[in-house]
Chain A
Amino acid sequence: MADAALDPHAAIATTASGVGSGTLTTADGMPLARALAHSQRRARRRAFLLVLPLLAFILITFVVPIGQMLARSFHNDGFSANMPQVSAWFASTEHGTAPDDAAWTALAQDLVASADARSIGVVGTRINYDMPGTRSLFTATGRQVRRGLEPPYQEALLEINEAWGDPRLWSVMRSASTPVTANFYLAAVDRTRDEDGNIQQVEEQQRIYLTLFWRTFWLSAVITGLTFILGFPIAHLLATLPMRKSNLLMILVLLPFWTSLLVRTTSWMVLLQQQGVINDILVWMGIIGGDARLQMIYNRTGTIIAMTHILLPFMILPLYSVMRTINPAYVRAARSLGATSWTAFRRVYFPQTLPGLGAGAMLVFILAVGYYITPALVGGSSGQLISNMIAQHMTGTLNWSMAAALAALLLGSVLILYWLYDRLVGVDNLKLG
């Protein structure tokens, strides 16, 4: 019976026998759907085993670390784990309750314990994220309390540093007393909480992230537009030139891929800097004066130029793959039907390149939004993007939660864009190659 079911032909050949009974069955009475699944099980299992190594690789090296990283954006137990007693007091009291004796006692005992366990720096760092300048309060107090702390604790702590009485500090500690927090996301959009826990904008000179997000998306859009304007004619040439010439052109298009990113970026420095090749030529030709050399690098212009160059192939290749399949007869047909060459392009050729254009624009935009190395090297201060700030938090301030929150926002906005694209154009229309 099992042998018969394993043979798909047997199942097909015997379907007629089960027609009368409602659901189709094989000759030996097994439901047809089950027989089919059974007969294909072996092949499926083998196919799954083939992709298993890749699946494991992606899980271990990609999904798990990224998931952990993203978890940091809303989960940070630097305070709550090391200050259990005061965290318990916060949990048992209402928001906005003034610290009573029990609170001061809990705080003092936690501080002593944490100082002894040498985790006071971690606690200070956590509070410092929400209230800059407080890390030293914790570490300095920690040094003092290790020498001994006598009740009454309120007076003793205030004597060490008056800042312990600051209601804002208590508000921040309250919000840090649970490991799950939205504060990093608030900070990532230039918001903070006042002492009553209300969300408000940060001070004007500290508002940087929204500007950076805005600049990142704006520059990415500009770069996408530029790659389209530059890449479209090249893709068309690639698709229409005779094989030998188009192969050569294709090598030229791909050449940047085979060159180190650093070499490419450095060559842009050589070309674009104020004493660089382009400025020299412009001065030599008398277009600009020797004292009015253009600033084309270490600013936004440099970021745009270098990134457009680097991302150009990602626009050209999908466009090319789509254009290659467009039969030249379409444009001829349009011309013979009375359309000028411009109308034929606009109404017949261009609409057919949209799947490639969509794919190329999507690739370039998403890559540009997350680009890091080029803006860091040639962007100066005005050409920095949000990813440079993420890197800064990863390696400079070591505020990984903040980095994760910024990255999560970036990821979220790209997903929203993808969803919008799907709604407006349809992802089925995407042709990556």
Chain B
Amino acid sequence: MLDDRHGDAFVAFEHVQKSYDGQTLVVKDLNLSIGRGEFLTMLGPSGSGKTTCLMMLAGFETATNGEIRLDGRPINQVPPHKRGIGMVFQNYALFPHMTVGENLSFPLEVRGMGKDERQTRIARALDMVQMGKFANRRPAQLSGGQQQRIALARALVFDPELVLMDEPLGALDKQLREHMQFEIKHLHEKLGITVVYVTHDQGEALTMSDRIAVFNDGRIQQLAPPSDLYERPENIFVASFIGENNVLPGTIEQLDGDRALVRLDGGGVIDATAVNIREKGQRTTVSIRPERVEFKPEMMSQGAHTIEAQVMEVIYMGDILRARLKVAGSDNFVMKMRNTIGQTRLDPGQVIRIGWHPQDARALDPI
């Protein structure tokens, strides 16, 4: 399923570049293979090129250079209506002058399908999203969540193998969004379709995807399953874009395989795992997740280096306690502690020593 070889890829981008104005590249040399049945998310800030990639795959934008293949077939010259790709749009794009049933009937009619088969398929697709009773309503009479379901049913009703989703949950409130995330995920598993999903919401990406491609500045920064992406970011952009993160600038003092000793700019020496660092004396930025920071000696590995930290404030957040620390001269270092009965309560002004497992501190390229 996660096979990355070009030959087996269901969707393949090869050296794809895109420019709108002939001056700058919006997508710079994109290489991406998506396996059959995979749920791949393109995640990135706005302007990172992710939506452009989706539009090139759908056929609404043409690649300036490079090749896009669908099931082994180059599709650069294939018009959108012949690609057979289902698509869910940001604001649903349900045709306002048609009923829900007519909306779903549209892709079947343009394929010349008979009336009986259309009825069967429409009923099946509506049942799939639990909207069976709404065939005669107009889109304007539905709530946002219901419109979202109809848009999903419309993209699936003609049995496409590939479905593209362009921030489909962006307009929904938080609770509904989380609910729909699971529903889309379950539909994907049930139908075995391939999904390419675009979002700027990292939580959504982590929840739903088999793999996530993090976009920035027209390039894929990292392509990995959610857990890898979160726990083993490969560069400082991914580390800071996904989840909350502490960054400590410093210089490599010792390098032994992937184990590094980093002298921080603000004083102190820490252990870290070298990721994209090659030699001693190089500048680096160490990234540590707030929930992996420890302050109790018994929780730290033997012989690990610790550094001094001063508690600036502790914020009670219900499930966790969030402490802001002053570490190595910078006072926005964050540590998260689980709110358990036995948890040690810290007070502002208190001085503690903090440490971590060397594999959780990742020495990345300098900012």
Contacts and interface: CB of A to CB of B under 8 A. Distances in A.
B87 A333 contact: yes
A335 B164 CA distance: 13
Contacts of A341: 79, 81
Given A332-B60, A333-B87, A333-B89, A338 B107 contact: yes
Contact of B90 (A329, A330, A340, A352): A329
Contact of A340 (B81, B83, B94): B81
B216 to A, nearest CB: 25
B106 A339 contact: yes
A336 B91 contact: no
**Which of B81, B91, B154 neighbours the largest number of chain A CB atoms within 10 Å of its CB?**
B81
Given A327-B91, A329-B89, A339-B81, A334 B106 contact: yes
Q: Which 10 A-B pairs have the closest CB atoms?
A: A337-B107, A333-B93, A329-B93, A336-B87, A335-B80, A339-B110, A338-B110, A351-B97, A329-B89, A338-B81
B158 interface: yes
A61 B233 CA distance: 78
Interface of B: 58-60, 79-81, 83-87, 89-91, 93-97, 106-107, 110-111, 154-155, 158, 164
Contacts of A327: 91, 93
B208 to A, nearest CB: 21
Contacts of A333: 87, 89, 93-95
Interface size class of A (residues with CB under 8 A): 10 to 19
B89 A332 contact: yes
Interface string A309-339: 0000000000000000001011011111111
Contacts of A118: none
Contacts of B158: 337-338
A161 interface: no
Given A338-B110, A339-B110, A330 B93 contact: yes
A335 B60 contact: yes
A271 interface: no
A240 B91 CA distance: 19
B32 to A, nearest CB: 20
Given A332-B93, A337-B158, 11 more contacts: A329-B91, A332-B87, A333-B94, A336-B80, A336-B85, A337-B106, A340-B110, A343-B110, A344-B81, A348-B95, A351-B97
A347 to B, nearest CB: 7
Nearest to B86: A336
Contacts of A330: 93, 95
A337 B110 contact: yes
Contact of B96 (A340, A343, A352): A352
A336 B106 contact: no
B96 A347 contact: no
A332 B164 CA distance: 13
Contacts of A334: 95, 106
**Which of A332, A341, A343 neighbours the largest number of chain B CB atoms within 10 Å of its CB?**
A332
**Which of B79, B83, B96 neighbours the largest number of chain A CB atoms within 10 Å of its CB?**
B96
B60 A337 contact: no
A334 B58 CA distance: 12
A367 B121 CA distance: 49
A47 to B, nearest CB: 31
Contacts of B97: 351-352
Contacts of A347: 106
